[in-house]
Amino acid sequence: MLAVADAADEIDELRLGSLGRLVPRPEEGDTRKIDAGATPGRRSRYNTPDAPEPDARPRDSVEPMRRTRAHVRGRVRGLEPVGGNKVWTAIAWAAVAGLAACRGDGAAASQGAAKVATCWPTDPSCKLTGGAGFECLSLHDNGVGDRGTYRMSQLEIAKPLVLAGRFLQDTVTTREITLEMPQCLQDGTGRFNWLFDADWASGELRTGGAHIPSDPAAGYCFIDGMVSGFLAQPVQIALQMGQDDAGRTFATKTPIASLSVPIYLDDAETTSLLLPLHDVQLSDGHVSADNDCIGSWDGDGLSYDNNCEPNAMIGQHMQWLNGARLTAYITGEEADRVWIPQLQQTLCVALSGDAQTYGQAFVQGTVSGKRCARDMSGRILALDKADWCSSTSAACSPPDADAFRLEAGFAASAVLIRSDCAAGAAP
């Protein structure tokens, strides 16, 4: 008969679904598994490929807690049901007894160590030959030469607080910037693409938004044209470079005066939420020794039992560890020209944090919602919430303030930036 400790190891080979069902723990590299505990309507790495689109709700919403291996192990070893669920304890013991009867004690022991539960992707397509850049799930190997090309893989906003809030951060910024590669634990759309092309030898950086590629591994093309009424094109800037124990460091020598980066909201690039940024500065940048990563995937910090998604219950909100900082400002006037379909209001209204007080209803063609209300002189009332003066590019207070400060951390992974892009065309 199986000992109690052996029984717990047997249970370790199983996952507990939300209905109390024991299902086999998935084999490494198998992305076609079904998680009996997955939230209905939400795609995860355990759902089948034709699962519905992910539920775009903020993580702060209350969801049923997932049962984990630790819960199961505690109940088997201590013979104590969780929440008084004695039925589950019986089911667990029955499952173990069934395994023992079918395989025998010797056969069970000969199965070896349990499969390692990991939040580092195991699918072969997620790792380059030789493992280059795996720290940040790179799609390209820059090598250790004098050039590095990267795509922003995470933008974690700290200010303004409205953009840092879980709704806009999760359902817009993070969802759109995360690639659509569920086999590599990335379940986004990949429609927000910000590129960095660094010439480390000359100390020059070219940066800007990119088109949605048909195949991210085949490379990206910079946007160079009008998007939503703003000129979006790459900008060249000088870098201040250094070295530390981990590798190369970098920061911009002077701010980028103006940089417009679109977040596309459909694959055809017909609608977008554009970020009209000014005085963009990069700082505290750290590049990995293999020249492929700025920051890294948080494979050791994420929980396998939480589908390798951030666990808000422990204050975790992002899947990556940032490797650089970004600051800029957005003027109230330009923010009022940026439409956010998810909120049915302009970015200006969103930045105010109070649509009822600072929003004004409007209809323009097929678009209707709220834009920023103005006083008799035409001044945007929402600037009462602004914290930055564009004339001095410094912090200030109303009534002088006419802009909103943006502060964020970001991570980036090596990608190929193509040189054969047709003007204004996506690859």
Residue-range domain boundaries for the chain: 4-109, 124-414
Q: Which of 53, 25, 28 is nearest to 39 (CA)?
A: 53
**Helix-helix angle 4-12:69-78, to 10 degrees:** 160
What pLDDT sits at residue 28?
46
Give the burial class of 408: count Cβ atoms within 10 A of its Cβ; 0-12 exposed, 13-18 middle, 19 or more buried: buried
Give the burial class of 398: count Cβ atoms within 10 A of its Cβ; 0-12 exposed, 13-18 middle, 19 or more buried: exposed
pLDDT, one tens digit per residue, over 229-263 is: 999 999 999 999 999 887 899 999 999 999 999 99
Q: Which of 395, 369, 172 is nearest to 262 (CA)?
A: 172
Q: Which of 38, 62, 63, 64 is nearest to 52 (CA)?
A: 38
Three-class secondary structure of residue 296 per DSSP: strand
Residue ranges of alpha helices (H) inside 318-397 are 332-335, 347-352, 355-358
Three-class secondary structure of residue 105 per DSSP: helix
Angstrom distances, CA of residue 190 to CA of 105, 252, 325, 368: 49, 26, 21, 27
What pLDDT sits at residue 8?
40
What pLDDT sits at residue 77?
32
Q: How many CB atoms lie within 10 A of CB 303?
A: 16
- The H or E element containing residue 147 is strand 147-159
Chain centroid, CA 313 distance in Å:
18
Q: How many CB atoms lie within 10 A of CB 267?
A: 13
What pLDDT sits at residue 104?
43
What pLDDT sits at residue 366?
86
What pLDDT sits at residue 56?
37
What pLDDT sits at residue 367?
86
d(CA 427, CA 89): 55
pLDDT, one tens digit per residue, over 3-51 is: 434 434 443 433 333 333 333 444 444 443 333 333 333 333 333 344 3
| pTM greater than 0.85 | no
| List of the chain residues with pLDDT < 70 | 1-116, 423-427
What pLDDT sits at residue 90?
39
What pLDDT sits at residue 176?
97
Pairing of strands 235-243, 248-252: antiparallel
What pLDDT sits at residue 423?
64
Contacts 24+ apart (CB under 8 A), 357-362: 357/381, 358/382, 358/384, 358/385
d(CA 395, CA 404): 9
